[in-house]
Each structure stands twice: as structure tokens, then as C-alpha cells.
Structure 1
Amino acid sequence: MRLLGNIIWLILGGLFLSLSWAFVGLILSITIVGLPLGVQAFKMAKLTLSPFGKTVYYGGGLGSTIANVFWIVLVGWWMALGYVVAGLANMITIIGIPFGIQSFKMAALSLMPFGSRVAKNLY
């Protein structure tokens, strides 16, 4: 079921959002200061390709909070907006509701990725 969900996810906007993350990662990786942000963007691109079957655990400390503030100002808010738009578009139909919910979860993660970790579900 995860495989089918991920394939449909790619068709309904996941591929476009993943390519957007990769582009952001390239732009942020130009400078040494932006390199940690670029690496995080590449991790988000990878997660966006196959989000079903994974759980996000939030955490972190002061360093993660500071990094998340810079992240939100530079790229987080507009990437989260992309997920919200995709989520609203997916929620139009009954079949798209699980994909819309997944988009909203990814929107929250795209606002605060530092200090969070992604784990595969065992089921």
C-alpha cells in the first residue's frame, strides 16, 4: 500500500515539490554558510519523493531552534506554502484526502526540519 501511495503522491505534486527542494538545496549550497541549510533541503527532497510509510519525530534544542528561525526566513515559509497548496488541491476529491493530509504533515516539517528525525514505519 505504501508503494501505491508513494506513486500516486508523485503524480499529484510530490515530484514537483521534490524538484523544488533540490533546486533550493543547490542555491543554498553555493556558500559555506548556507551549506547546512542546503543539506537539509536535499534531505527534504528525498523525503518528499516517498513520504508514505514514514513518521517524523520532532525534537532538538537551542541550536535547532536558531537554525529553524533562519530556515523559516529563507525558504521554509514558501516551501510550506507549496505543500499547503498541494494539500488543498488534493483534498478536493475523496481519493485525494490521504494525500492532502500527507501534504499538511510535510508543510509542518518544512517549517521546522532541524532537530527532527524521520523513521520508517515497521508495518
Structure 2
Amino acid sequence: MRVILNVIWLVFGGLWLALGYAVAGILCFVLIITIPFGFAAFRIASYALWPFGRTIVEKPGPRPGAVIGNVIWVLLFGIWLAIGHIITAAAMAVTIIGIPLALANLKLIPVSLVPLGKEIVPVDPPVPTTRAAAWP
């Protein structure tokens, strides 16, 4: 089911959203001082490309640089990105088929609002591939 939802998401906006974040990431790398924001933009782009089956978690450990960077990000970009995701989610939720896509768009708000210090991980833990690996 996740693959089907991801393909529908990709066709109906995920590709353009990911490309937008990737272009922003490239621009951040060109400006050199904004390279940490570039890494964050590429992280969001990968999540925006294939959101179903993945989630956002905090990276472990104290991150004072991430807090400062997130404050700057929220003031410059985060608020506008979050508003854009809310508006897009409302537009997608008009149809029944668009409701899961709207939920995926809402799932992007936390990472687009404060992206530094976050990690994108699979929802399900990896399954052992061999029988020997399954035994303790």
C-alpha cells in the first residue's frame, strides 16, 4: 500500500516539491555559509520524494548549533514552508483520494519548520534476511 501511495504522491506533487527543496539545497551550498541549511533542504527533499513508510525523529545528543540554526531557519523559511504545506494539504483534502496525500503533506510540516537536528528513518524496523540472523 505504501508503494501505491508513494507513487500517487510522486505524480501529484511530490516530485515538484522534492525538486524545489533540492534547488534550495543547491543554492544553500553555493552561498557557502548556508551549507547546514543545504543539508537540511536535501533531507527534506528526500522525505518529500517518498514520504510514506518513513518518519522523522530527533538525532540523539545535545545540539546547540541546531537550536540556533533552527531559530534562523524558522524566521527566514520555516513559517512560510509550513503555511505552504498547510494550504496544499487543505487543497488535497478536498477529494477522498487526496486525504492520504494531505496527511503526508502535514507530515512534512515538522521537518520543514525546524529541520536541523532531525533524522528521517523507516517506520518499520529492518527484517532479518536470513534464517540464521533471526536466531539469537
TM-score, normalization by structure 2: 0.81
Where has structure 1 moved over 4 Å in runs of 4 or more?
none
- Residue 130 of structure 2 corresponds to none
What is the aligned counterpart of 2:72 among 70, 73, 76?
70
2 CA distance for matches of 1:65 and 1:77?
16
- Residue 93 of structure 2 corresponds to 91
- Residue 34 of structure 2 corresponds to 34
Q: Do 1:13 and 1:86's aligned partners in 2 also have CA atoms closer than 8 Å?
A: no
State the shift of 1:58 in Å: 3.3
- Residue 57 of structure 1 corresponds to 57
TM-score, normalization by structure 1: 0.89
- Residue 46 of structure 1 corresponds to 46
**Which amino acid is 2:18 matched to?**
S
Q: Do 1:12 and 1:90's aligned partners in 2 also have CA atoms closer than 8 Å?
A: no
**Which amino acid is 1:87 matched to?**
A
State the shift of 1:19 in Å: 1.0
- Residue 133 of structure 2 corresponds to none
Secondary structure of the residue aligned to 1:119 is: strand
Instruction: Give me the CA root mean square deviation.
Output: 1.7
State the shift of 1:119 in Å: 1.1
Number of equivalent positions: 123
Structure 1 or 2, whichever has the larger Rg, is: 2
Identity among equivalent pairs (%)? 37
User: For structure 2, which runs of at least 5 residues remain unmatched after alignment?
Assistant: 126-136
